[in-house]
Amino acid sequence: MINIDIGATAVAVLTLFGIYSLMAISLNLEYGVAGVPNFGKALFISIGAYTAGITYTRTLPLLAGFEAIHPCGPTMGGALQLRSEIMASQPAAGFINLALTFLIAAAVAGAVGFAVSYITLRLKEEWFLALVLLVGGETVRIVVRGADDFICSHNGISGVAQPFYFVEDPRSSALLFMLLALALALLAYVYSQRLIHSPYGRMLKGLREDEDITRGLGKGVSLARAQIMAVGSVIAAIGGALFALNTGFVNTNDYVVNLTLDVWVMVVLGGIGNNRGALLGALLIALLDRFTQIGAIALNMSGSELEFNYVRFIAFGLILIWMLRNRPGGLLPESRLTTNAHDVAKGLIGR
Amino acid sequence: MPPALLTTSLVNTIQIGSLYALMALGITLTFSVMKLPNFAHAEFVTAGAYAALIVSLSGVLNPLAIMAAAFVVGALTALISHIAVFKPLENREVSLYTLILASFAVGLIIRYILFLMADYFNLFDLRIGIPLTILFREGSLILSNLFAWVVPTSILLVILLTLLLNATPLGREMRALANNSILARVIGIPVERVKNYTWLLVGGLAGVAGALWGLQSAVNPLMGWAAIISVFAAAILGGLSSFSGTILGAYVVAFSENTLMLFLNFNFGVDLAYKPAIPFIIIIAVLLLRPQGFTEIFRRAGDLDR
Amino acid sequence: MGGGYTARVSTRYQGAEIMTALLELRNLRKDYGGLRAVDDVSLTVPEGAIIGLIGPNGSGKSTLINLIAGATQRSAGRVIFAGDDISDLPPDAVFKLGIARGYQEPALYLKLTVLDNMLLPVKNQRGEGPWYAPWWRTWHNEEAKHAERALAVLEQVQLLQQYDTLASDLSGGQMKLLEIARSLMGQPKLLLLDEPTAGVAPKLAYEIFEQIARLRREHGITFLIVEHRLEILFDFADTVYVMHLGNLLAEGSVAEIANHATVREVYFGE
């Protein structure tokens, strides 16, 4: 049998939980609250990851006072060694580079999300947006994979170390990164929670229920939808950057339709329109992911031929269908939005 | 580009286009009759291919028997998906996004069950083993008996499907359902039964497409999923409603992926790695610029929304 | 948009009182493919009036409402509101200028509470964007004020006790009232109502029209009402327009319309 290091496992699960939370909150804002079917989630997540791939190979050496080495082809090894050394010895450069990564990722993803939402206006049927986003995400992936100099085509970029790589004790280093991920997830949670319980959240829920009526009540729904797509995309891209740092490499193979489905499972499982549900969904999927990994290793060591990773996907499909059939609102169904208007009313009526 | 390459790529276009047509008609039919964009359609193809492979491995090498097995397995997979997943959801009148999501989930389950099976019995990338004979050779252009099986069979099935839709009571009922499901129910069409038959038909054809695909290349659990976007592109070119438009769309997609791609590669140096992007670009362009696809061109026999 | 048109058109209104036109349609036309849904309609809605719009099904009444509200693109003609050409404005801009509308089927947000339905259409809310929304202090005060106003309006239509109910749990008549009450939150000058009493019990239908008359009296709101229940409409309307096959067949006071030979022939089948 294998020994499970409970501490390390907990840190790994919680790190993943933080990263997944960002993704789930972002989809919950877009689909759960505003009703925009973002089946291109992988695209916006990948923007964060690709940005990390680029900054780690281009700006990081500059920040540390070196000349950047081309990360692909024959100089691949040298470039990898250089960024590992920088991450190990110059924490300041690492942190500035991380901030830069977040900034660029947020700006690019936000702009793309904002612009993409206007596609809806050109579509004959509402659900075509789902198809365009799904297909658009895959197209970008294929183009990035085909482009040699971007993130080294299908080879990807490895050695994308998390910012606490310089801490010598690997356990402390992982713990610090976990705290970073959780802090960012908490920030996104508080922000989105306040967003829902505001006049803006009210308008978005109105938009989700009926776009035409909302427009007829004087609301600029196209702008509102563009804004929430931008907000969601920024959060997703931050999640994507962390995702890349967590695995340590950037490869287009990670940002496929299955990743989009993972995020949808989190939201559908936890509760559509409920941020706490999104967090719960993220936690459950993070646990499931970790335990499939452990299960796969255990099964392998016991000499079984069964590939456990396949079981994970089957479980995903079954969970999704069971939820859609039996608990369409998710484990934590949507709660009512409340602003201080409700307190005013309560005070007036006296109950 | 060299003429020999051109001819080979055109042969590929016809061969792959015919298979795309067979699969895309299923997507169009499901969308018209059931109002469902079914992404699990890919897995009906793969399931059929594996049925064909297993039958052929068991020693049966008659192509007709192989295809019959593929039809039955594809049809049953589709019907089970309907009864277990889609029907209960439709009865609850869930949103289209829920149905799309459910179709992904169904696809996921079937695909990875096939993965488990292929892994356990070591059935990766095997070709359905009917003996290969060369019928025609001219320079680099080789036509084997596979071409003779794949192309005529696909075309024959497409013709049979068109006849079924236009000249049989079931076809009339399916068209009525596609046109107006509420009206269809009111005038006494047995909606549930028609839907069941439609699923059997759609799944069966997808299964046969899988068998034919396995004849010409190799069977693996991802084969249907890898083709699904091309197939969707074909169906979208047909406006998700027109039969003739879908068939034309299938050949347009196959042509773009094969002949056009090679042409771009030879004359403009476009990397062949971008080939998978072609159906994506077609889908986005059609949805944005011409959502009706080819439907305006064809307003005649075989159109479901007539 | 805007600019060119400045002259106010006067019309006769009931007791020879001269009123200014709030809304004016000039040769408005709408074609759907080969079908002409609205054909060369010109009419004037004086400020402060209750105007009835009647006609058989398919005569183009709802299309006319949609054209005014900006929900449908015109084929020809112009819509003038308070002196401005609003023919090409989108629905949200039309609403902001002061034209609110009701639908045949009450178009409420069924999954939001009555109070949230009321607050949604309030114009220029600070907390209505992703920037200010998270900072409660920036919009709490105005939200409280809007809430007070919403509750006052709800009290007038006797929905105050239901403020925290989901709109889906209201009765049909209450939904109609809520829809009218909600459109008031945008402080409209003109309310377009498409069959406000459809599917409502006779007693409540009369109540709805009494609310309409009160709103005109107390807030000076102008009404253009499509209605099939002529017996009620005729008790409240100042002027009635009759549409038939996309055309304006007749216009006049209630008495004139009720005795109009062609109208009786077309509409009452006499």
**At residue A21, does pLDDT exceed 80?**
yes
Regarding chains C and B, contact by 3 or more CB pairs under 8 A is answered as no
**At residue C250, does pLDDT exceed 60?**
yes
Rounded Cα distance, A316 and A320, in Å: 6
For the segment A52-63, the average pLDDT, to the nearest whole number, is: 91
Backbone angles phi, psi at A203, to 5 degrees: -65, -40
Q: How confident is the model at residue B245 (pLDDT cuts 50, 70, 90)?
A: confident
Rounded Cα distance, A44 and A235, in Å: 9
pTM: 0.89
Residue C151 pLDDT: 94
> Which among A125, A130, A145 is the nearest to B100, CB-wise?
A130
| Predicted confidence (pLDDT) per residue in A178-212, tens digit | 999 999 999 999 999 999 999 999 999 999 999 99
Q: Do A198 and C112 count as a contact with CB atoms less than 8 A apart?
A: no
Q: Do A202 and C120 count as a contact with CB atoms less than 8 A apart?
A: yes
Residue A335 pLDDT: 85
Helix axes B191-216, B3-34, angle to 10 degrees: 160
Q: For chains A and C, what is the number of CB pairs under 8 angstroms?
A: 128
Q: At which residue do the structure tokens 């307003």 appear?
A: B299
Residue C225 pLDDT: 94
Residues in a beta bridge with B126:
B219
The C-alpha of B275 sits at a distance from chain A's nearest C-alpha, in angstroms, of 9
Task: Indicate the residue type of C161.
Answer: Q
| Predicted confidence (pLDDT) per residue in B37-77, tens digit | 999 999 999 999 999 999 988 888 888 888 999 999 999 99
What's the token pair of residue C233? 């409409």
Residue B159 pLDDT: 87
Residue A52 pLDDT: 93
**At residue B36, does pLDDT exceed 80?**
yes
Rounded Cα distance, C223 and C213, in Å: 9
Residue of B nearest to A257 (CA): B104
- Interface residues of chain A, partner chain C, Cβ below 8 Å: 190-191, 194-195, 198-203, 205-206, 209-210, 212-221, 224, 227-228, 230-231, 336-337, 339-342, 344-345, 348-349
What's the token pair of residue C242? 């009759």
Residue B124 pLDDT: 83
**At residue A31, does pLDDT exceed 90?**
yes
Q: How confident is the model at residue C265 (pLDDT cuts 50, 70, 90)?
A: confident
| Predicted confidence (pLDDT) per residue in B135-179, tens digit | 777 776 777 777 788 888 888 888 888 888 888 888 888 888 888
What's the token pair of residue A137? 């995400």
Rounded Cα distance, B204 and A91, in Å: 60
> What is the H or E stretch that residue C30 is in?
strand C17-32
**At residue C10, does pLDDT exceed 70?**
no
Q: Is B80 on the interface with A (CB under 8 A)?
A: no
Residues in a beta bridge with C46:
C21
Rounded Cα distance, B31 and B33, in Å: 6
**At residue B264, does pLDDT exceed 50?**
yes
Q: What is the three-class DSSP state of C25?
A: strand
Residue B135 pLDDT: 74
Q: Is B285 on the interface with A (CB under 8 A)?
A: no
| Burial of residue A298 (number of CB atoms within 10 Å: 0-12, 13-18, 19+) | middle
Q: Do A31 and B97 count as a contact with CB atoms less than 8 A apart?
A: yes
Residue B298 pLDDT: 58
Q: What is the three-class DSSP state of C223?
A: strand
**At residue C74, does pLDDT exceed 50?**
yes
H helices present in A64-169, as ranges? 76-89, 91-117, 128-146, 148-151
Q: How confident is the model at residue C268 (pLDDT cuts 50, 70, 90)?
A: low
Q: How many CA atoms lie within 13 A of A42 on its CB side?
A: 24
Among left, alpha and beta (phi > 0; psi -120 to 50; other), residue C40 is left
Rounded Cα distance, C226 and C104, in Å: 9
Neighbours of chain C (3+ CB pairs under 8 A): A
Q: At which residue do the structure tokens 């005014």 appear?
A: C68
Q: How confident is the model at residue A350 (pLDDT cuts 50, 70, 90)?
A: low
**At residue C6, does pLDDT exceed 60?**
no
Q: How confident is the model at residue B12 (pLDDT cuts 50, 70, 90)?
A: confident
Fill in the DSSP letter of residue B70.
Answer: H
Q: How confident is the model at residue A104 (pLDDT cuts 50, 70, 90)?
A: very high
**At residue A50, does pLDDT exceed 60?**
yes
**At residue A127, does pLDDT exceed 90?**
no
| Burial of residue A164 (number of CB atoms within 10 Å: 0-12, 13-18, 19+) | buried
Nearest by Cα to C234 from C15, C54, C105, C41: C54
* Chain A contact set for B292 (CB, 8 A): 124
Q: How far is CA A163 from the centre of its chain?
A: 18
In this structure, the number of other CB atoms found within 10 A of the CB of residue A18 comes to 27
Regarding chains C and A, contact by 3 or more CB pairs under 8 A is answered as yes
Who wins on pLDDT, A5 or A350?
A: A5
Q: How confident is the model at residue C269 (pLDDT cuts 50, 70, 90)?
A: low
Fill in the DSSP letter of residue A303.
Answer: T
Residue C19 pLDDT: 59
Q: Is A123 on the interface with B (CB under 8 A)?
A: yes
- Non-local CB neighbours of C267 within 8 Å, separated by 6+ positions: C54, C55, C56, C242, C244
For the segment C206-231, the average pLDDT, to the nearest whole number, is: 90
Residue B180 pLDDT: 81
For the CA atoms of chain C, what is the radius of gyration?
A: 19
**At residue B305, does pLDDT exceed 50?**
no
**At residue C12, does pLDDT exceed 60?**
no
Q: At which residue do the structure tokens 């309307």 appear?
A: C237
Residues in a beta bridge with C99:
C190
Q: What is the three-class DSSP state of A146?
A: helix
For the segment A6-32, the average pLDDT, to the nearest whole number, is: 95
Give CA angle at B267 (B263, B269), nearest 5°.
100
- Non-local CB neighbours of A158 within 8 Å, separated by 6+ positions: A80, A248, A249
The C-alpha of A130 sits at a distance from chain C's nearest C-alpha, in angstroms, of 23
> Which among B119, B274, B281 is the nearest to A146, CB-wise?
B274
Is the CB of residue C207 less than 8 Å from the CB of residue C19?
no
Torsion (CA) B12, B13, B16, B22 in degrees, nearest 10: -150
**At residue C188, does pLDDT exceed 80?**
yes
**At residue C4, does pLDDT exceed 60?**
no
| Predicted confidence (pLDDT) per residue in A242-300, tens digit | 999 999 999 988 998 889 999 999 999 999 999 999 999 999 999 988 888 888 888 77
Is the CB of residue A343 less than 8 Å from the CB of residue C141?
no
* Chain A contact set for C129 (CB, 8 A): 200, 227
Pairing of strands A249-250, A157-158: antiparallel
Q: Which DSSP string corresponds to C137-173?
A: HHHHHHHHHHHHHHHHHHHHTT-GGGTTSBGGGS-HH
Q: Do C133 and A216 count as a contact with CB atoms less than 8 A apart?
A: no
What's the token pair of residue B260? 């056009």
In this structure, the number of other CB atoms found within 10 A of the CB of residue C148 comes to 14
Find which of A101-105, A141-145, A320-324, B274-278 is predicted with most confidence, using mean pLDDT.
A101-105
Pairing of strands C50-54, C222-226: parallel
Q: What is the three-class DSSP state of C188?
A: coil
What's the token pair of residue B133? 């004979």
Q: A304 to each of B61, B96, B109, how far by Cα in Å?
A: 33, 41, 21
Residue A305 pLDDT: 66
For the segment B260-281, the average pLDDT, to the nearest whole number, is: 82
Fill in the DSSP letter of residue A167.
Answer: S
**At residue C8, does pLDDT exceed 90?**
no
Rounded Cα distance, C184 and B290, in Å: 41
> Which among C69, C116, C150 is the nearest to A202, CB-wise?
C116
Give CA angle at B97 (B200, A110), nearest 5°.
140
Residue A351 pLDDT: 52
